[in-house]
Structure 1
Amino acid sequence: MDSPLSPSSARKEAGMFLTLILLLSGRSQRAMAAQRQQGVECIVFNDEYLTCMWGSKEMPTANYSLYYWYIPPRTENHMPVECKHYLQEEGINTGCWFNHSEIIQFRTFYIHINATHEGRSLVIPTKAMKLQDLVKPAPPVNLTIQNISNNQLQLTWDSMYNKPRCLEYAVRYKSNKDTRWTEHLASGKIFSFPSVDYEKYYTFYVKSKINQYCGTTQLWSEWSVPVFWGNNATDKGVAEKQAPWFWIHVVLPTASLMLILVLVILLIRMERVWVIFMPRIPNPSKNFDELFNTHQGNFPEWAGVSKDVVESFKPNYNESFCHVSELPPKEGSSPLWGGRDKPRAPPGRSSAPASSSSPGLILSKKSYVGV
């Protein structure tokens, strides 16, 4: 009989068994994860280029390779061709890019994507495709709004798709008073809006897709750049969204620069401003040189005084001179003053009568004659 295993040996064997199970389950899970890729997604952008992505939703665990071919008529042979332009992320192939010359519409397009991971061959499931059903047009451009009547608008636009007859359009609009967007389909590049309110502010978008006559696709383009119409004074929110960037970063700096430039030009060209800030100091030598050389010292003429004013200051009458002489006093006549009226001599002087050598002026009431 075999001897029973010791507890330690039994634990070791159980541990090894569990480790082997975990390794096998890990491999199987990674293989299943590689197989559970979301598949491939191919889109023809505006008939200009084609992309086929297999790592757009989940990062691949292996580096896949893509081979493609078109199923030709029975008289031709088809050979798979490997992708020439891989799209990578972190060094892993996540897609393939095809240029315009590699796109053939209205012929069945088939791809095969495979990889080798840990000795196993992995394949991403694909199916035959028709590229005319995978076209995603570019958004419409040049949106324009015109008033065609009092309450009716007409919205027009252009398309960058080279086959505009293959497109149908959807118009989305909303006013500043509405809470939901309204959408309408349009077969051509024109849309009439029957009733508008001039007190509202409207926003319009347009998108496009391939119509049923050129393909069976549900791939719409992105929404176009919006166009606006109406009175935005009633919608401060919309006005604040549209105006700040343009007015703050474009209009205000340009207007300020123009104003400063105009002020500088005016300051340079205005002589009065220069006289105020930098008054001129007169040179008196030139003025006096003119007085003595040109006007020969004639001050009134140099000062600009008119001749009439100068003549008005000249006297226009003659005045005769009056001569005064002294007459000697007659004998027996008494002086002008009497006993009481005799003048007193000033202090320090004698009160004696003046001598005949220095006679004083002794005048009587009849002692002077005017001639």
Structure 2
Amino acid sequence: MILLVSLFLGNIPSFAFSASSEPKINCLIINLDYVNCTWSELGLKYNYSFKSRFSHHEILDCSTYQKINSVNVGCMFPYKKTQRFNLLKTWLYSDNGSLVTQQNHSLKEYVKLNPPFNLSVVERKDAELWLYWNVTNDDRCIESEVRHRTDNKDWKNTPPGSRTTFILPFPSKKRYEFQVRARISSSCGESKFWSDWSESVYWESLKTNDTEINCLIINLDYVNCTWSELGLKYNYSFKSRFSHHEILDCSTYQKINSVNVGCMFPYKKTQRFNLLKTWLYSDNGSLVTQQNHSLKEYVKLNPPFNLSVVERKDAELWLYWNVTNDDRCIESEVRHRTDNKDWKNTSPGSRTTFILPFPSKKRYEFQVRARISSSCGESRFWSDWSESVYWESFGNVPEINCLIINLDYVNCTWSELGLKYNYSFKSRFSHHEILDCSTYQKINSVNVGCMFPYKKTQRFNLLKTWLYSDNGSLVTQQNHSLKEYVKLNPPFNLSVVERKDAELWLYWNVTNDDRCIESEVRHRTNNKDWKNTSPGSRTTFILPFPSKKRYEFQVRARISSSCGESKFWSDWSESVYWESLKTNDTESLAPVSVTTLVLYTVGATVILVILSCLLVHNERLRVILIPVVPNAGQNVSKYLASLFDNYDGNIEKWLSMPKDLENGFKPNFTERACPVREYKMVSQSSSDIESILSNPTDLSSDYQCMHSYSSASTIPGPAEALPTQDPSPEDNPV
């Protein structure tokens, strides 16, 4: 915020400041995005309030103040692009509400753009350098000015023009440096203010003939080779070979308008010290050029990241950062400046920290870059400068930083990390009451942050925060616009399945309304480099894939522009994998969980106990119903002696049979005795035979006896007395 004030004040012409005692209000449109007004009374004696009004619109209070030591020194507020040509009225009021000054502004000529970006320079076939760049707004209303120099000599400026390209004829064996700046052109109301100069871009002539192939190891991860014939007339094919290895075709081409202009391919770190041979072939297969490369000095690292700066107790600033590879082989260079003045560079060293003594009431900006050190084969190339990190002294007042976490709650932390003071925290959204902190975050029992709830609509309201010391005195009051300060939780439940149409289908969940969330997918195969996809409002992703590859996917999310884009992405999700391993239709069985095994064991034990109880119970019934017969094989004489001595040979009593069972064996019927006769054949006369046959009385009576029995049992009873007869001499009883 203070950077904007300093940038603005540094670009205000001297005539803009009034010599009178009342403050001068200076307003400037920044990059056609918003209006920034500051007042020149910077003694910080008075805390003015600010109002503004465009012609034919209502008067508005300031929505976002710029502060120094909790004193208002400027205001940023939105506007519509057509209002640039309307009169702007501004007012400053004192603390007691009295008017301090009223001023009018014509903003048509007061526009300052951001510098051009993405500068690139390439060599064309017709012996020219072609420079091209991007601007942040409609280039039909913007004119650009290019300046260049060779071998660090004086700059040469070109006439401004409405363009985003520049062509320069060049002599051989020169090192060219280019910069571009931009402003609103006269066709759209010319601005008095140019943007700052862009970052420099360089080109150096090293070739003597043919198409030059330039190879560079990027971040010690892969080799990137490009060729300077960028007229896009020929679609070359590329091959490469490290010493003692085979020749490889290019695996991944870089293209412009479907024409190959470069190649990226993997390498082993030890190959950095080997000779690399490269070939370019034309469409008809003829060799265009063959070149050799020594890559030891041609390594460019990614910029350092995670820069942080804190104040130490011994009145020093402590800066620390991370690098992407082994820091024993990397040296870093730090540069810093105060209040947007000139940069001061420090000596390179193998380190990831830097300590700086500092005066009070200064605003510090730090950047770091890195390269391979001489201990591991020094590289000619530094990384780009890192993103800036800032520290500002507000009279030792801590800075409060607030972030909405997953649209669930607000998390505010303060930068006073010496843990000297245990501050108390209060907050208030516009049109709501002031609230004490409900949940503090602590380090060693000292408050360092606060988490508190909010309503989702309050994200677009101004948040005011206060810190108080132990004795209740106010330490600082700060304002926050949270619309862009939302960090979501990572996506979860990632799943990937194979579809019938030879595609991988990845789907996932997000923790909030997916209509407001855009997701970015990255994937890689066989642990190679990540490939990122374009963000989009989606929870699925489809990828055609070759067979026999191992795929790893990750997803991150943020609030999309349709709901107020956030500056913060979520962390990357947990990885999900898919790998083609099968060669037939056989599938491995799913492993049985521990819980299932325990349940099976307990169930089997219960069933075994029940069966044992049933078995014992049935055995008792069998013993009661069917008495056990004594084993005659043991003590035979003893058992037989007891039969005759104690029971007089009565087997029923000897066996101790129950009464009911004993009665069941007794007969309940009487049986008549039937006589049985035996007939002898005696030789007689025919007359005797006839007399016998004519008298069958005896036979019929015997037969009748055999059919007259009545019985209810098959057990024979005691014999009945048979009628005695005197048998004839022919009868022999059986």
Q: TM-score, normalised by structure 2?
A: 0.28
Per residue, is there more strand in 1 or in 2?
Answer: 2
Higher relative contact order (CA 8 A, sep 6+): 1
Which structure has the larger Rg? 1
Per residue, is there more helix in 1 or in 2?
Answer: 1
Q: TM-score, normalised by structure 1?
A: 0.50
